[in-house]
Amino acid sequence: MDVRPDAPSRGRARMFVFALLLGFSCGTAADSLRIGGTGTALGTMRRLASEFTARNPDTVFTIMPSLGSAGGIRALSAGAIDIAVTSRPMTERERELGAVEFEYARTPLVFAVSANAKVTEVSYGELAAIFLGESATWADGTPARVVLRPFGDSDTALVKDISPEIARGLAAAEARPGVRFAVTDQDAADDLERIPGAIGPISLAVIVSENRTLRALKLAGTEPTPMNAASGAYPHYKRLFLVTRAEPSTTVERFVAFVQSAAGQTILASNGQWIP
């Protein structure tokens, strides 16, 4: 199931989804698995679930719309889902809720444009200038339009950590009237696909696992591949975690084991990720 609300209703929609999840917290079958959390992981979770179901036909999966990392952990602690997927480690307060985590993959954080765009790479200086609004157009004359994530989002924090110059540019973009903010990874991918000249941060995992018509730009001449990220040649990436209850069900344990298996790792590797 994939829900993509229009911009004015996105916040209300996520609150509705969380309330709906709470209504599902009781009475589910022992061989059902409900997974929710960061949008970065949802496409890959669908692919993992499909392969797991092919091997275990009695298991039924529900992959929730994006709840974000914090929302996924809250839903897990409320009993609304069985596994949360996050793009950050848990906080100490979240660990006190009785959940446990493990890092199952990493994926490059990239700057993406439409696959139809003429641009194929960007430098750090050009990226800062685009955020600052100093670079108003691409080389072909198309206006450059930034698509940002919310202030507290993990992608925003990672972009700010790239360099002081880019952090200043991002702060200027955040304050500029009319700049587009995408609440979820899926919203960001939609905006980057449809807005002419759009550029913004997104994970390679989303582009690959959801078959998005987006191009991950070379950054300072380096391809943002999992191999380059794993070697350190491309230094920008997101960490991905599975979060479960301290005493998970047998079905949860089997799925976690599958993610860690050779078959699971092959799926991760084919969807823009590498195993740390």
pLDDT score for 139: 81
Q: DSSP assignment of 42-74, as one string?
A: HHHHHHHHHHHHHH-TT-EEEEPPP-HHHHHHH
Alpha helix segments (H runs only) across 161-232: 164-175, 185-194, 204-209, 226-231
Extended beta strands in 3-82, E state:
32-37, 60-63
Note whether 7-106+238-269 and 108-231 share their fold.
Answer: yes
- 109: which 2 tokens? 């954080």
What pLDDT sits at residue 30?
A: 52
Full pLDDT tens readout for the chain, 276 residues: 333 333 333 444 455 444 544 444 444 445 899 999 999 999 999 999 999 999 999 999 999 999 999 999 999 999 999 999 999 999 999 998 889 999 999 999 999 999 999 999 999 999 999 999 987 788 888 889 999 999 889 999 999 999 999 999 999 999 999 999 999 999 999 999 999 999 999 999 999 999 999 999 999 999 999 999 999 999 999 999 999 999 999 999 999 999 999 999 999 999 999 998
Residue 89: predicted pLDDT: 94
Contact, 85 vs 45, CB < 8 A?
A: yes
Q: Which residues pair with 32 in a beta bridge?
A: 60
Q: What pLDDT was estimated at residue 12?
A: 42
Containing 24, the helix (H) or strand (E) segment is none
pLDDT for the residue numbered 31:
87
Q: How far is CA 152 from CA 64, 81, 218, in A?
A: 21, 23, 26
Fold annotation for 108-231: D-Maltodextrin-Binding Protein; domain 2 (3.40.190)
According to DSSP, the residues that pair with 107 across neighbouring strands are 238
Indicate the class that CATH gives domain 7-106+238-269: alpha beta
**b/e map of 86-105 (b: 16 or more CB within 10 Å)?**
bbbebeeebeebebebeebb
Q: What is the pLDDT of residue 26?
A: 44
Q: Name every residue whose Cβ is closer than 8 Å to that of residue 133 and which is 6 or more positions away in sequence.
A: 172, 173, 176
Which pLDDT score, from 0 to 100, does residue 132 have? Answer: 93
Q: Please report the pLDDT score of residue 16 as a whole number.
A: 44
> Rounded to two decimals, what is the model's pTM?
0.88
Hey, where are the domains in the chain? Answer: 7-106+238-269, 108-231
